[in-house]
């Protein structure tokens, strides 16, 4: 199917965000409009090349392990004071250009009343997998009041961040539904892929439910102060482009539609929306067309190639090239500085072809990463911009 979207021009009316939102406030100490991250995601060229890392708040940091000691993962995600502290830790240590809200993609399930726990060394495990139409029909809907704890955590974090943006996030409907069908992490995701064909009505109902809770989760974060948001489709790479188009794209679009009045690309002054998946190089245009302002790219193709593929495939709304995010290979974080530095420089050069570029990893920070290496990578990326400006002035 084709997913229609209607981006507005740069002169469009402001987003329907609160007047004190970081993207609308007139207070310079809180405004994120001129931040490098927001500028790059809106297709502009900021003076400082923005960089942040997926899973930058996590097990690679000793301060994270200390503050989380004895506290379960999902319990940590539902304590606003702890969420704020963990979200801020990599900002303080690495000087990254954005914070990513500390949470987990299954948090909306827990808030809706679905029995789920994150088992150490395993990942999300559901009390009861969802494998039939009756199972889907029995799922509770996420009540808006249940998201108050998320709003509180976002608001407190944004207050501490000042002019540095917070990125909200949610799991994309396919990845969320994949966990629910399998009941736990899977290598091949046969369960949800089989359901698409063996029981398409059940799949449509489950993916629709996942899209609703993901959309609600995104909306709560943006309204509470997040300046951008990312939809994670960690397992979409198990799909063919045809399966993605026929069974998944419309549900990702529905999740984005939940914030269409708050966010880009449809609202010029809204919060930019990122769409990221692993192993999705074959259908990046479809991910863009689901409603993203920018597309995340993993390590399997270069940013230059991703830009070429997007440029060659204009969507139904006429958009083609969009800002990109990525794509430092996490494996190289432990490969030695000479190798890593050359790779980072190549990634920045490759991303320069896109309308905007946010440097990130091709996936999350491995837990064994030396934090000092990440700090050094950030310093390198920021210095490359200084070098560029010095060359332009010469």
Binding residues for substrate: 55-59, 104, 179, 234, 363
| Binding site, annotated residues | 55-59, 104, 179, 234, 363
Write out the two tokens for 68: 């989380």
Length of the chain: 394
d(CA 13, CA 15): 7
What are the DSSP calls for 39-90, one per residue?
Answer: HHHTT---SS--B--TT-SSTT-HHHHHHHTT--HHHHHT-HHHHHHHHHHH
Nearest by Cα to 36 from 24, 18, 48, 25: 48
Write out the two tokens for 41: 């995601």
d(CA 362, CA 195): 29
**DSSP letter at 7?**
P
d(CA 66, CA 307): 41
User: Phi/psi zone of residue 200: left (φ > 0), alpha (ψ -120 to 50 degrees), beta?
Assistant: alpha
């Amino acid at each position: 199917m084709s997913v229609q979207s209607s981006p507005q021009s740069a002169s469009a009316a402001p987003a329907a965000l609160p007047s004190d939102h970081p993207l609308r406030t007139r207070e310079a100490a809180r405004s994120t409009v001129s931040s490098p991250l927001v500028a790059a995601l809106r297709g502009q060229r900021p003076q400082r090349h923005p960089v942040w890392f997926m899973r930058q708040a996590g097990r690679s940091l000793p301060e994270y392990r200390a503050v989380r000691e004895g506290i379960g993962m999902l319990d940590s995600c539902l304590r606003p004071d702890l969420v704020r502290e963990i979200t801020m830790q990599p900002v303080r240590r690495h000087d990254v250009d954005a914070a990513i809200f500390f949470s987990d993609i299954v948090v909306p399930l827990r808030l809706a009343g679905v029995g789920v726990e994150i088992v150490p060394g395993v990942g999300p495990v559901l009390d009861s997998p969802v494998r039939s139409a009756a199972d889907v029909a029995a799922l509770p809907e996420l009540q808006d009041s249940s998201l108050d704890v998320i709003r509180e955590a976002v608001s407190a974090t944004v207050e501490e961040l000042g002019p540095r943006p917070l990125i909200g996030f949610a799991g994309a409907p396919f990845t969320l539904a994949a966990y629910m069908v399998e009941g736990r992490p899977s290598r091949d995701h046969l369960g949800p892929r089989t359901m698409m064909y063996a029981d398409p009505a059940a799949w449509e109902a489950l993916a629709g439910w996942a899209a609703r809770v993901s959309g609600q989760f995104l909306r709560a974060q943006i309204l509470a102060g997040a300046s951008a948001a990312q939809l994670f489709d960690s397992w979409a790479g198990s799909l063919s482009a045809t399966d993605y188009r026929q069974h998944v794209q419309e549900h990702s679009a529905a999740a984005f539609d939940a914030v269409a009045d708050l966010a880009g690309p449809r609202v010029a002054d809204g919060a930019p929306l990122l769409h990221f998946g692993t192993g999705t190089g074959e259908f990046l245009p479809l991910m863009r067309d689901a409603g993203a302002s920018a597309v995340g790219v993993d390590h399997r193709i270069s940013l230059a190639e991703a830009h070429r593929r997007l440029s060659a495939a204009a969507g139904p709304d006429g958009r083609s090239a969009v800002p990109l995010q990525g794509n430092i290979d996490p494996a190289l974080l432990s490969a030695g500085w000479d190798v890593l530095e050359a790779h980072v420089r190549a990634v920045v050069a490759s991303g320069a072809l896109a309308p905007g570029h946010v440097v990130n990893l091709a996936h999350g920070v491995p837990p064994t990463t030396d934090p000092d290496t990440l700090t050094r990578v950030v310093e390198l990326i920021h210095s490359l911009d200084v070098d560029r400006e010095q060359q332009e002035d010469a």
